């Protein structure tokens, strides 16, 4: 929602008028060079609100409307500049400030790239303190978005859908993000934890869908575009069911693409493109993996969590390079989720492995849910509740 600055207005006043933390209003208006010096008529974004159209009926006044629906009278004046309250006409359209109190993300559905991008657009519009950046593009040219929320020095990164058939990780992350920003703007806790301090302490980074081409392939089937359609159908032996596909659209497993003992992994994996496990001709040949590596190298993350499926386990070590803090963190993740921590596994060249190797900081591969991939969407609520505890612990640990 947007308002126009009047004489004497300030961002602090807006925070009081709309019952919002001042920090969220400041961060929603980063284009304002000096938050203490607003210009008459300047546009200001108010996070967590929508402008709801309302048709004036007989007997309506701004005062009666504000009393009836429980909104501050001055909020009506502010939102409807330059409407003259004393000259309202029956049938005239005005706007009411409506606080958003319910999620806009509906995660429990077949969640393809288009669904994610539509939800991101809605979230950024309602919560403009969210920072949005395209960090790279897939083989087929789809933007790979990163979202950032928070003002803190502790940098925590989440990602999902490295593997196409593990696409349920994307709506899990998107719904988690929605719950977090909803709690921030409404001042309500999540599982008893007030979120405002974490906004101040943590910079949350999230790439909800690393492999958009692969996710769309699993959910929507072979693309119409060539040469991709012919290529994936041939690689899938003519089958139109791509539910077992883990790779990107070129048949490269993106989580086998990182320079962390890549050669050791490559010698025992398929030597050519395949629906799963092929690590590519060399590390970081694929644009999606390159995008994640570049993002990580410039972001100085303190810890990373890569969401995968399945097994209800959390992998947290690599070659003894993980720091001592990793064990305490993973034990808290296990406590709040019921998942089992596993320090080492005979697997290499993954994103988590590379992060630990390069920075000696905590990195985790979280295997959500249990069953056969792709996990049925009926498991969504259970997985969401388990993963929400991990998300919260990543903020306070």
3 state SS for the chain? CEEECCCCCCHHHHHHHCCCCHHHHHHCCCCCCCCCCCCCCCEEECCCEEEEEEECCCCCCHHHHHHHHCCCHHHHHHHCCCCCHHHCCCCCEEEEEEECCCCCCCCCCCCCHHHHHHHHHHHHHHCCCCEEEEEEECCCCCEEEEEEECCCCEEEEEEECCCHHHCCHHHHHHHHHHHHHHHHHHCCCECCECCHHHHHHEEEEEECCCCHHHHHHHHHCCCCCCCHHHHHHHHCCCCCCCCCCCCCCCCCCHHHCCCCCHHHHHCCCCCCCCCCCCCCCCCCCCHHHHHHHHHHHHHCCCEEEEEEECCCEEECCCCCCCCCHHHHHHHHHHHHHCCEEECCCCCCCCHHHHHHHHHCCCEEEEEECCCCCCCCHHHHHHHHHHHHHHHHHHHHC
- Active site positions, annotated: 367
Residue 52 has a pLDDT of 97
Residue 46 has a pLDDT of 98
Q: Which fold has domain 113-214+283-396?
A: Aminopeptidase (3.40.630)
Considering the chain, what is the average pLDDT of its residues?
Answer: 97
Residue 211 has a pLDDT of 99
Is the domain covering 2-99 a CATH 3.40.50.300 domain? no
Largest CA distance in the chain: 79
Residue 246 has a pLDDT of 98
* Cβ–Cβ under 8 Å, residues 185 and 127: yes
What's the pLDDT tens digit per position in 196-217? 999 999 999 999 999 999 999 9
What's the pLDDT tens digit per position in 62-118? 999 999 999 999 999 999 999 999 999 999 999 999 999 999 999 999 999 999 999
Residue 111 has a pLDDT of 98
Spans of the chain, pLDDT less than 70? none
Q: What are the structural domain ranges in the chain? A: 2-99, 113-214+283-396
């Amino acid at each position: 929602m947007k308002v126009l600055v009047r004489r004497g207005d300030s961002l602090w006043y807006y925070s009081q008028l709309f019952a919002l933390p001042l920090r969220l209003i400041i961060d929603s208006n980063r284009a304002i060079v000096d938050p203490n010096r607003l210009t008459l008529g300047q546009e200001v974004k108010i996070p967590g609100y929508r402008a709801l159209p309302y048709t004036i009926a007989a007997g309506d006044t701004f005062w009666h409307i504000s009393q009836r629906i429980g909104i501050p009278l001055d909020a009506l004046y502010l939102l409807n500049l330059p409407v003259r309250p004393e000259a309202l006409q029956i049938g005239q359209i005005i706007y009411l400030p409506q606080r958003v109190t319910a999620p806009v993300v509906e995660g429990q559905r077949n969640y393809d790239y288009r669904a994610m991008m539509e939800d991101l657009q809605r979230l950024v519009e309602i919560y403009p303190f969210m920072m949005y950046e395209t960090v790279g593009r897939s083989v087929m040219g789809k933007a790979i978005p990163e979202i950032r929320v928070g003002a803190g020095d502790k940098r925590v990164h989440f990602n999902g859908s490295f593997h196409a058939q593990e696409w349920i990780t994307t709506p899990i992350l998107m719904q988690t993000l929605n719950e977090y920003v909803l709690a921030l703007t409404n001042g309500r806790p999540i599982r008893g934890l007030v979120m405002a301090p974490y906004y101040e302490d943590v910079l949350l980074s999230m790439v909800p869908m690393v492999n958009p081409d692969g996710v769309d392939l699993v959910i929507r089937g072979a693309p119409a575009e060539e040469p991709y359609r012919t290529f994936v159908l041939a690689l899938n032996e003519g089958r139109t069911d791509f539910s077992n596909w883990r790779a990107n659209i070129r048949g490269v497993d993106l989580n086998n693409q990182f320079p962390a003992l890549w050669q050791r992994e490559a010698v025992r994996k398929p030597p050519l493109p395949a629906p799963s496990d092929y690590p590519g001709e060399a590390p970081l040949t694929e644009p999606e993996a390159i995008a994640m590596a570049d993002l990580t190298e410039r972001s100085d993350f303190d810890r990373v969590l890569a969401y995968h499926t399945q097994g209800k386990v959390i992998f947290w070590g690599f070659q003894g390079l993980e720091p001592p803090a990793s064990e305490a963190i993973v034990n808290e993740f296990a406590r709040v989720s019921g998942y089992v921590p596993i320090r080492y596994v005979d697997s290499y060249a993954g994103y988590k492995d590379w992060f630990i190797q390069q920075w000696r900081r905590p990195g985790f591969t979280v295997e959500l849910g249990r069953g056969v991939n792709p996990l049925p969407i009926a498991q969504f609520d259970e997985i969401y509740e388990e993963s929400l505890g991990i998300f919260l612990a990543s903020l306070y640990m």
